[in-house]
Amino acid sequence: MKVLVTVKEVGEADDDFEIEGTDIASSDLEYDLNEWDDYAIEAAVQLAEAGIAEEVVAVTIGPERAEETIRMALAKGADRAVRVWDDAFEGTFADVSSKVDVFEAVVDEEEPELVLSGVQAADTAFGATGVALAERIGFDHAAVVNDLDLDADAGVANVHRELEGGIEELTEVDLPAVLTVQTGLNEPRYASLRGIRQAQRKEIAATDLADLGLTPADVESTLTLTEMYEPESDSDAELIEGDAGEAAGRLAEVLREKGVGA
């Protein structure tokens, strides 16, 4: 089967950063592969190693700069990558639906049986792309997956989903399916140096909207960023000091004040 993994390059801000217009200054950002996408790649590569996946394709929406990050997916074992970018995305804030427009077209082209997606992106944190894509392409889906056992013959993914309050749901999802991957699914490997060297020669297909049969109008975003600011934080943290007895006493007092165990 073919596995498609959606990956995103995310910018992480330094402790001190400047805001430029509606974004954090790029000089204060370190770009890296989105953490949850790393779990998704690891899951896909494990499926390939188990002989279940024949091909692992990584897809991203991102400018040329993102290639370095996408190459990390290739270094860890993805076979090839598709990078979609278009002038139409320049300077805009793509909403979930415009991303899904793109991924839908890529799915049409690639015809994967399984799509793995991070549960969320560390920067925008919509947590919606994978599920919205499933809805659009008519695949079954499971969100917040932290355990996966794929029975390819039966065409079923047995998954654990993390729900609120420490509850887990065990469920079966029929293939083709979209799974959004949560922390805990696996421990991502370090790319081996040989993998990194081989990744330099793997294909990253630069694709624009026209290549996908889309127009800028198709992917128009309903969201615009109007302002970026640091929220006022009024923290009133109290540092409890003293020996264990005193500290425990004060802690109990605070908890009681706040209504715990009343």
- Which chain residues interact with another protein by CB under 8 A? 68, 71-72, 75, 190-194, 196-197, 199-200
Q: Which is nearer to another protein, 71 or 141 (CB)?
A: 71
Output the smallest distance, CB 58 to another protein, in A: 15
Distance CA 261, CA 233 (A): 28
Residue 71 CB, nearest approach to another protein (Å): 7
Could you tell me if 82 and 59 are in contact, meaning their C-beta atoms sit under 8 angstroms apart? yes
Q: Residue 91: CB partners within 8 Å, gap ≥ 6? A: none
Take residue 135 and report the two structure tokens written for it.
């809805």
Q: Which is nearer to another protein, 38 or 101 (CB)?
A: 38
Q: Which is nearer to another protein, 72 or 212 (CB)?
A: 72
Nearer to another protein, 68 or 151 (CB): 68
Please report the sign of the dihedral spanned by the C-alpha atoms of residue 145, residue 183, residue 2, residue 204: positive
d(CA 98, CA 100): 5
In the bound complex, what is the minimum distance in angstroms from residue 47's beta carbon to another protein? Answer: 21
Q: How far is the CB of 76 from another protein (least distance, A)?
A: 10
Q: In the complex, what is the shortest distance from the CB of residue 192 to another protein, in angstroms, rounded to a whole number?
A: 5
Element (H, E) at 30: strand 29-33
Residue 156 pairs in a beta bridge with 151, 174
| Distance in angstroms (rounded) separating the CA atoms of residues 221 and 89 | 9
In the bound state with another protein, the residue whose beta carbon lies nearer, of 16 and 87, is: 16
